[in-house]
Structure 1
Amino acid sequence: MDFKLWELLRHCVLVYMILELQWRPVVSAPEEHKSCSDLLSTISLSKLLHHEAKDLLKHYITFHGPRSNSSTEDVPDSTVSGVNVSEKLQDVYVKNELFRLHVLKVVQHHSEIFLNKEPVVGPLSRVKDRLLYHSIKVKHLLAGFFPDVPLPSKPALPRLTAGHTYAKKEYGWLVLVRLRDWEEHVLQLLEEMKNMCGQQRLKRLLHTFNSLL
């Protein structure tokens, strides 16, 4: 083949792969790209959970009235901690379970104190169940992106100091506020992880290009 024609062909292939990298959606193959598919579905679930947490907080405030800016060590903070992505994802896994346990406790408090349970208990239960599914998805992400990183141990049941009715109301309000804020940070982490899928695709394209040389 003529050298100039060969160089032109290589150039066209390279341009095609660059365009594919920029515009082609991430599509998972049966094995190699399953982690990226899991990531996209986890992002969708996290967005839904964030929306439901905000909606639940509105219902809670409507039912109980506005709360003060109180704080307690009983409730986990809303940060995502870690020096790298794997540590941050491990932190998400642990706090996901903590928030699920705290939401379960809020459900119990509300059911014990108030005869008129709706419209709070229904959304509370849905968020609790959604957190369980979210935990499973995060577990899959850890196994897919970081197979050599051990899965963190699940936290123990929370020990609460809230005793009287008003303190339990305050506790529930704080749980929902921090859950909403925490989910925002989780979404930021998951969006950042999409770059890892882009890097994987770039490696595949470069491998394909090198094989043509």
Structure 2
Amino acid sequence: TATTIEGIGLEQIATETFNRHKAAFGRDPLLANTLDIGGEYAYRMRGEDHAWTPDVVASLQHAVRGNAADRYKEFAELVNTSSLRMNTIRGLFAIKGAEAAGRKPISIDEVEPATDIVKRFSTGAMSFGSISREAHTTLAVAMNRIGGKSNTGEGGEEADRYLPRPDGSANPERSAIKQVASGRFGVTTEYLVNADMLQIKVAQGAKPGEGGQLPGHKVD
């Protein structure tokens, strides 16, 4: 799906650069000895507003670990109010029904069925070394179950995931999209032929030309 939002331009970059210089060399007494840390990456109490706050993460963890519906409602409310603070693109919009727009609602029979829509669903390319085999296989099984596609990421996947699952269920742990990337971890002929789609990555999106880093204890 194409995006028409685009990004910032030279004017915004110049303005941000000027503001940083002014903060560093200006006469603000609060910034005389220490610059404002900002909190753009790590969460800070008085820093930049984040969608994923410690409270959001904690409520989700309690909801999942305790199967607690009340904690899930708490999590959902925190996420939804975060959107209202314009932390997400959807927070900038309000859905207007057909009646409010003066149009006749479309018949549900004319709407594309969910079984066709989910075929276009895909997961982000996250290596199993970065999110664990358990999370990686769960994403693959979920996408296979609904008819979508999971992406292996740069780390590839183990060959036993191409086979039927031990419990005999019809949804294998095989990722439909196999990524071939600059690191070339685990790229074999067997890996490639077990793909429905190949994604060739030329450089890291988040860390161009650098590749990802894993904690040493996760390298086997």
Q: Same fold (TM over 0.5)?
A: no
TM score, norm. by length of structure 2: 0.21
TM score, norm. by length of structure 1: 0.21
More helix as a share of residues: 1
